[in-house]
Structure 1
Amino acid sequence: MMYSFLLKNFLLPFGDKFLGGGLPKKIKELQGLTRLSAVELKSLQNQKLGKVLQYAILHSPYYQALDISPSADPEEFLSKFPILDKQTVRDKIDQLITKKSLDGLQAVMSSGSTGPPSKVYFNKEEMAATRAVQLTWWSWAGYEYGNSILQTGVNLNRSREKRIKDIFFRTKYIEALKHHEDEMLKELHDLRKKPKDHYVAYASSLYLFAKTALDHGLSDIRFKSVISLGEKLLPNFREAIEQAFHCKVYDTYGSSEGLMVASQCSHGSYHIMTPHVYLEVVDENGNEVGPGEMGRVLLTGLDNYTTPLIRYEIGDLAIKSKKTTCDCGMELPMLEEVLGRTTEFLKTPQNKYITVQTVVRVLKFFPEVEQFTLIQKTENSFQLQYISKEQLDECSQQKIKESFETLYKESFLFDFQQVELLPRSKSGKFQLIINEVHENV
């Protein structure tokens, strides 16, 4: 209790003076906004939408060139903007940003799950707004200032700001790129000695840790809650995680470009963070679908003026909820389901797991690979099907193979196949990895 008081009233304000951005104020404001009525929330969203659209056509060279005339109605104004795809963001980021200098800005890389990663820029206030949404979502999962956290991520080389954040928020940060059973068992045994209050991680990481705990009969590891991010949380994942760690899983949905879309409340509803983002779910013709219908996700950020992302298509499918009220009391609108890419696992001969995040992070360094699917053919042979303007040369193929071998300290056989179309799941989504060897990892 004492540390919670110190963190909220002294450490966070002190850290904000050092780092900037106004995080404590933004958290307080956002938590107040989530208690507004549906009418008030819609009014606020439209006000912020009109403001960011007007700013974009005045200050972003990309949007200036489109010669879009403003409208008094923000939603009518929005409909005049074309859908923004990831290739355009990658190719025209210099025209999208509204600042003449990158000094003082922070670059955020997309995950690269739908092609080469793109880069989006934020100033300190905009980054704080994104962080405020995250902490608000954590509060829905029972997080209180001072609670301890176990978190997995793809980059252990934490920046100064993130290292300070980890200390303040009592966070232990571990690698998510590869999971060997021995490494997971070590972390699980550490948790038995030094428990953490909350576990925040990619869905695949959470599942693998839970599966390992269940397989080895480690039944005394408990969290107050588990928070899933970054990947589709499959039903069997949720079941295993809740069984292993004796708590509820709270799933979150956002994009790695800093757009925080929706999170589950205590009643399991996915509430859309309308003060932060404008969400459209559209059909193939770009028309809004009705409640209960599936469509393509388009996002418009309401807090990032440095890199305005307007009607940005992130490659996901979602279903709008038919519900208009939730027992949690919040009147934020809801999504029924997010249909992300099916998360599977590949397993090496030495029983190490290759996850979607691993493959994405390796191929991130080969931008000539625009899209890909990695298929495990046998215990140690893999086929990389890829879309690229030119065929990968032998040097690039060897470097990709060596990247996986260095990461896992094993030898693999790799076959590379340039294709025009990649395999899709029944929902129409690209499958980033396909396991033809292990039916159930």
Structure 2
Amino acid sequence: MKNRFNLKLNRKFFLENLVLKAGDLATGGMFVSKLKEWREICRLPKEKIDELQSQKLREILSFSVKNSPFYNLQNITSNTDPFVWLKNFPVLKKQSFRDNLEFFITEKNVKKLIAITSSGSTGPPSKVFFDKKVLSNNRALQILWWEWASYEFGNSILQTGVNMNRSKEKAIKDKLLNTRYISAMSHSEEEILKELDHLQKNPRDHFVAYASSLYLFAKTAINHKFTSIRFKSVISLGEKLLPEFRETIETAFSCKVFDTYGASEGFLIASQCSEGNYHIMSPHVVVELLDDYDREVKPGQVGRVILTGLDNFTTPLIRYELGDMAVKSKLKKCPCGMELPLLGEVIGRQTEFINTPSGKYITVQNVVRVLKNFPEIDQFKVVQNKKGEIRILYVLNKEYNLLNHSEVKIMFEEVFSESLDLSFEKVSFLPKAKTGKFQLIEREG
């Protein structure tokens, strides 16, 4: 047992301090040093974390108004308090950013930079430019979050992704980090069963995937009685992790699910700790939760997610409206011991709401709360058109012959206390978007 423990420590040390450090030297990256830096930041007391955030905010605001043509033209009034200064900046809509991208970039030679395009799950995709330092920083933050979920270098990983054409660099990384990379684009029952069978014979320590992928794997495992598959942890990313998803995944794989919250524009916003609370990476991003009049919401209230990045000086994004809704946390301190600030529940995309005739909102959570009473439905998607008509697409569970549409309609109308224009369409499968994500609620037009 002692020899096995020492071997594990030696492998972890070898990967982090020799192999990955050598990779940084070869590529000009800073992954290892950034990871160690973030580990130290997580141990800081609140006043030191706040001080670091304030300092970095002042630096990015000062740099942006001098070097980014877009912000320079805004004639923004400065202030000695960086948070007061920040409020003088306008809220930046995605469309405005996309239309004026060239005026945000501060590096004249963009060929030196790496361009990353967002998933486009809330509209047309946005392109953001990064240098190697920022990419190293973001990768370090991702691994830090995995470490909160008990990951260590040398642990084996099953990970889903959109692009299966792995570059030489990524293929080497997958090999070194013991990662089996599978497609997130198609999860037919046959494909999932094949992968579950492979997992039984070749166990993995961690499963990292979109929330919907995790849920489909877990549900299939339960339905087909795969009872021996265990993970140290499951890490959810990219989509809203619904309570039903979490419950099913934890039941199927006998482990905790750690949810992460980020955006492909380069923001690693928050992640769950061992206590299940979302910690905001405040020395990396300033998070504002605003109402419809751009006022900060109170604890316990839902607000629009507005982000200011503190690390990317190449394409500075200040008060960028992500298109998400989240709850401001009522909790001031977390029992886990970290003093990074807390975020309440992540509600999801602003587009993931259905409007009732009286002006109420039907959220993903509301829909799941109703439809979980109907085991006849295996999968579903809710679509609302311009006229307000609501269509429920569903895949019928194999154990049932039909779904009583009238009963579903009655329950929806009882929950929302009003008449709804509902129609139903049985389908054989529900395709995912090009991003590999699956949107449970969609508004047309």
Q: Label 1:330 to 1:201 Cα distance change in 2 as closer, same or farther (>3 A).
A: same
**1:241–1:249 Cα contact (<8 Å) kept:** yes
Q: Does 1:332 align with 2:340?
A: yes
Q: Partner residue of 1:432?
A: 442
Q: Partner residue of 1:164?
A: 172
2-structure distance, mates of 1:14, 1:230: 30
- Superposition pairs of residues 70-149 of structure 1, within 5 angstroms: 70-149=78-157
How many angstroms does 1:355 deviate by?
8.7
Q: Partner residue of 1:348?
A: none
Q: Partner residue of 1:201?
A: 209
5+ long unaligned stretches in structure 1? 346-350, 360-372, 381-409, 413-428, 435-441
Q: Partner residue of 2:68?
A: 60
Q: Does 1:269 align with 2:277?
A: yes
Opposite residue 254 of structure 2, the aligned amino acid is H
How many angstroms does 1:102 deviate by?
1.2
User: Between Structure 1 and Structure 2, whose CA radius of gyration is higher?
Assistant: 2
Q: Partner residue of 1:30?
A: 38
How many angstroms does 1:168 deviate by?
2.0
**1:113–1:432 Cα contact (<8 Å) kept:** no
Please give the secondary structure, in 1, of the residue aligned with 2:235. strand
**1:179–1:353 Cα contact (<8 Å) kept:** no
Please give the secondary structure, in 1, of the residue aligned with 2:72. helix
**1:21–1:126 Cα contact (<8 Å) kept:** no
Opposite residue 31 of structure 1, the aligned amino acid is R
Q: Label 1:187 to 1:33 Cα distance change in 2 as closer, same or farther (>3 A).
A: same
- Superposition pairs of residues 368-407 of structure 1, within 5 angstroms: none
2-structure distance, mates of 1:273, 1:165: 25
2-structure distance, mates of 1:180, 1:354: 15
| Aligned mate of 1:17, from 16, 25, 46 | 25
5+ long unaligned stretches in structure 2? 1-7, 353-363, 369-376, 384-388, 397-427, 431-438
| Aligned mate of 2:187, from 174, 179, 185 | 179
How many angstroms does 1:197 deviate by?
0.5
2-structure distance, mates of 1:38, 1:56: 27
1-structure distance, mates of 2:56, 2:174: 31
How many angstroms does 1:354 deviate by?
9.3
Please give the secondary structure, in 1, of the residue aligned with 2:110. coil
Identical pairs, percent: 53
Q: Label 1:430 to 1:195 Cα distance change in 2 as closer, same or farther (>3 A).
A: closer
2-structure distance, mates of 1:236, 1:38: 34
Q: Does 1:323 align with 2:361?
A: no
Opposite residue 432 of structure 1, the aligned amino acid is E
Please give the secondary structure, in 2, of the residue aligned with 1:178. coil
Cα deviation, 1:383-432, whole Å, max 9, x if unaligned, reads xxxxxxxxxxxxxxxxxxxxxxxxxxx999xxxxxxxxxxxxxxxx9933
State the aligned residue count.
370
1-structure distance, mates of 2:147, 2:306: 26
Q: Label 1:71 to 1:183 Cα distance change in 2 as closer, same or farther (>3 A).
A: same
Give the TM-score of the pair, scaled to structure 2. Answer: 0.78
2-structure distance, mates of 1:178, 1:248: 25
Please give the secondary structure, in 2, of the residue aligned with 1:114. coil
Q: Does 1:232 align with 2:240?
A: yes
How many angstroms does 1:378 deviate by?
7.8
Mean CA deviation greater in 259-268 or 62-71 = 62-71
Deviating above 3 A after TM superposition, structure 1's stretches of 4 or more consecutive aligned residues are 341-345, 351-356, 373-380
Give the TM-score of the pair, scaled to structure 1. Answer: 0.79
**1:180–1:352 Cα contact (<8 Å) kept:** no
Q: Does 1:7 align with 2:15?
A: yes
**2:378–2:395 Cα contact (<8 Å) kept:** no
